[in-house]
Amino acid sequence: MRILICDDDPIILELLEKYIKSYFHTIGRKCPEIAIFNNGESLLDDQADKDILFLDIEMPGMNGIYVGNELKRRNNNIIIFVISSYSEYLDDAMRFHVFRYMSKPVDRQRLFRNMNDALDLYHSLTYMIPIETKHGITTVPASSIIMIEAQSRKVIVHTVQGNYESVYNMDYWLRQLPQNHFFQTHRSFIINLAHVMDFDHSLVHMAGGLCDAYLTKRKYSSFKETYLLYLESTR
């Protein structure tokens, strides 16, 4: 993991770096690399991995809106915190799907809570899952799994890359998949919340329109609540 901070204010840079190091110390984990940038140009020139970014909006030269859009275009999985004193940029920031919008001065405890959510999302995006079929094993990111479907005696794993007939049953997949990103809507369906397009009282329509999942009436309320909480956690 690599964490980046981009702000033209050296006091904010120092404070955020201090808070991030303190957060990892508090949770008992080694702090990953923290890279510091004081302008958008140098950040865009950086060729190394970018996993979590704390990004200011008002900076000389390229502003944070342009930089954030460009980084999301290059890597849609980057987790971006926008740090700003100007709430009028909120709508523009949300258009490139920032993870959180945090006001200056940054509150330490709020940052800690948001870092918990960011790490959960990071691990779900990078978590690799092996899919064993009768022909062999294919490993895919958990985030690329659209849903698991039981078809009579077959279990089909629908992914962005294609469909695979698993040698394992639904109980196996319930144990393997990250619980905060997957939901069993019906005994025959486990869906990835990130790929939900819309739903009604009986069906969940998955992104791309290639597959739908049944939603039982007794699970409608809990699914709705879980899905809305999931959406909130990604904003």
pLDDT top residue among 185 and 90: 185
The widest CA-to-CA distance across the chain, in whole angstroms, is 61
Q: From CA 129, how far away is CA 174, in angstroms rounded?
A: 12
Q: From CA 120, how far away is CA 116, in angstroms rounded?
A: 6
Which pLDDT score, from 0 to 100, does residue 233 have?
A: 65
Confirm if 49 and 2 have CB atoms less than 8 A apart. yes
Q: Confidence class of residue 95 from pLDDT cuts 50, 70 and 90?
A: low
pLDDT at 188 over 90: yes
Distance spanning both ends of the chain, measured CA to CA: 21
Confirm if 230 and 222 have CB atoms less than 8 A apart. no
Residues of the chain with CATH 3.40.50.2300: 2-125
pLDDT at 55 over 70: yes
CATH code that applies to domain 128-233: 2.40.50.1020
User: The whole model's pTM is what?
Assistant: 0.63
Kindly state the average pLDDT of the residues 151-161. 93
| E strand or H helix that includes residue 146 | strand 145-151
Residues of the chain with CATH 2.40.50.1020: 128-233
Choose which CATH entry (3.40.50.2300, 3.90.660.10, 3.50.50.60, 3.40.50.300) describes domain 2-125: 3.40.50.2300
> Could you please report the per-residue DSSP string of 96-125?
TT-SEEEESSPPHHHHHHHHHHHHHHHHHH
pLDDT at 96 over 70: no
3-state secondary structure of 11: helix
Angle separating helix axes 108-126 and 220-233, nearest 10 degrees: 110
